[in-house]
Amino acid sequence: MSEPEATDGSTNTDGEIVEPENSTVDDWFGQNVARDQDVADEAIAEAGGDVEEAEELFDERAEGKEKYDEGHPRP
């Protein structure tokens, strides 16, 4: 039995969501957290272990909260 055809590229004739073959998602909360963890690690290394300097670097570079807020507006 073959898959029902997609009508508009996102759902098929049965109403099921159809993902493209090379589908990726990069805005999940966990992914943003992981990227910010990398930024924190880099900031600590760059600051030579100085936590206050690393915090300033992190605040300048981290994007997770902003990306999450942009993609999840308050009702």
Would you kindly state where each structural domain of the chain is located, as residue ranges? 29-71
Q: State the number of CA atoms in the 13 A half-sphere of 1 facing the CB.
A: 1
pLDDT tens, position by position, 35-60 = 889 999 999 999 999 999 999 999 99
Query: 35: buried, middle or exposed (CB in 10 Å: 19+, 13-18, 0-12)?
Result: middle
- pTM over 0.75? The answer is no
